[in-house]
A = this chain, B = another copy of it.
Amino acid sequence: MNSQELSKLLNKHNNIYILTHTLPDGDAIGSALAWGTVLRHLGKKVRIFCPGVIPRKYNFLPGASEFEHIFPPAPSPGIVFVLDCGDLERLDYMSQGVGEIENIVNIDHHATNLLFGDFNIVDTSAAATGEIIYRLIIEQELPLDYEASICLYVAIASDTGSFKYGNTTAQTLRITATLLEKGVDPALVSQKIFDEYPQSTIHLLREALTTLQIDETFPIAWMNLHEDTLDTYGAKAEELEGFVNYAKNIYGVEIGIFFYHTLKGETKVGFRSKSVDVSSIAGLFGGGGHPRAAGCTIKYQEGPDAIRLVIEAVRKTLQEKKPNTTVKCE
């Protein structure tokens, strides 16, 4: 879909829905709110939907309380923008309702995007969907105010890990520079989205670090926690985000793994690597993800068995990749 086609579609319809994915992250939330803000400035009637709870750390964003969770409401809108979703399944229980609406505009940056929209604006070179939304705002000559800017900042900073990840480009930084000129305070926002957590997170981290194991032969380190422990501290599973990096970041470790044993008897596995493709390992267990960040769920196994199963598979993968590789961890 090009700029003119989008302009035409926007001119034609006044009622607009914006949807984003389950387990919403900063890019999903920030992009949806920014796009909603600028479309409202255009005089559109906009409703924003998400099939998941908005994590507390994003509550400070203008409009964060406006996310609706019941879908589909009547009447149908003229356009539905689906943001940051590689496929409609990412909309969880909202996917069916969306399928019945005309004029689905799919705006996304995932390489795996299925081009499911009636119109597709997919740019896999963008670090975040927020970067695409920024470009649309500029192309459509829509007003980029402080509210939209802070939402876009959160979108882009989140998906680049504060500009640390490999998806960060010169373009990403120049867009972000413009957002700072609109008044966004990087310190204030970063504190909120990256560096603030409940006290329970500290207890969970301490417990997780206590379980750290480093393989004697292969450059693998792992930790695990049981949902029981979360309950003890009144913690939520979302607090575990990033724990896997503590294993991966150790000198000499190539793959860090975090095992989360749920009360339902499943083990959720998060992989992070420095250079090895872990999405293929996650794929062995029906999971997937990116080359350096992937995940899977192991069912029908006791916790320790799930760990053994996965570690054995990781060892095998590393063995096949580089025979006789041993890396000493310090």
Q: Which residues of A contact B (CB under 8 A)?
A: 161-166, 168-171, 173-174, 176-178, 180-181, 185-188, 190-191, 194-202, 205-206, 209-210, 212, 214, 245-246, 249-251, 274, 329-330
* A200–B177 alpha-carbon span in the complex (Å): 38
Instruction: Verify A198–B250 contact, CB threshold 8 A.
Output: yes
Indicate whether A163 sits within 8 Å of B186 (C-beta atoms), given known contacts A202-B250, A250-B198, A329-B199: yes
* A210–B206 alpha-carbon span in the complex (Å): 7
Instruction: Verify A205–B197 contact, CB threshold 8 A.
Output: no
* A258 to B: closest C-beta gap in Å: 13
Chain B residues with CB under 8 Å of A249's CB are 191, 195-197
Interface of A is mostly: helix
Instruction: Verify B165–A187 contact, CB threshold 8 A.
Output: yes
16 additional A-B pairs beyond A173-B180, A197-B250, beta carbons within 8 Å, are A161-B190, A162-B163, A163-B163, A163-B176, A164-B187, A165-B190, A170-B177, A170-B178, A170-B181, A173-B177, A174-B174, A196-B251, A197-B251, A199-B250, A202-B209, A202-B246
* A162–B173 alpha-carbon span in the complex (Å): 12
Chain B residues with CB under 8 Å of A199's CB are 214, 250-251, 329-330
* A180 to B: closest C-beta gap in Å: 5
* A196–B330 alpha-carbon span in the complex (Å): 11
Instruction: Verify B209–A185 contact, CB threshold 8 A.
Output: no
12 contacts between A and B (CB under 8 A): A162-B162, A163-B163, A164-B187, A170-B178, A173-B174, A173-B180, A191-B249, A197-B250, A198-B251, A205-B209, A206-B206, A206-B210
Chain B residues with CB under 8 Å of A246's CB are 202, 205
Chain B residues with CB under 8 Å of A274's CB are 191
* A326 to B: closest C-beta gap in Å: 16
Chain B residues with CB under 8 Å of A173's CB are 173-174, 176-177, 180
* A186–B245 alpha-carbon span in the complex (Å): 17
Chain B residues with CB under 8 Å of A166's CB are 185-188
Instruction: Verify B162–A195 contact, CB threshold 8 A.
Output: no
Instruction: Verify A180–B187 contact, CB threshold 8 A.
Output: no
* A131 to B: closest C-beta gap in Å: 13
Chain B residues with CB under 8 Å of A181's CB are 170
Chain B residues with CB under 8 Å of A210's CB are 206
Instruction: Verify B170–A180 contact, CB threshold 8 A.
Output: yes
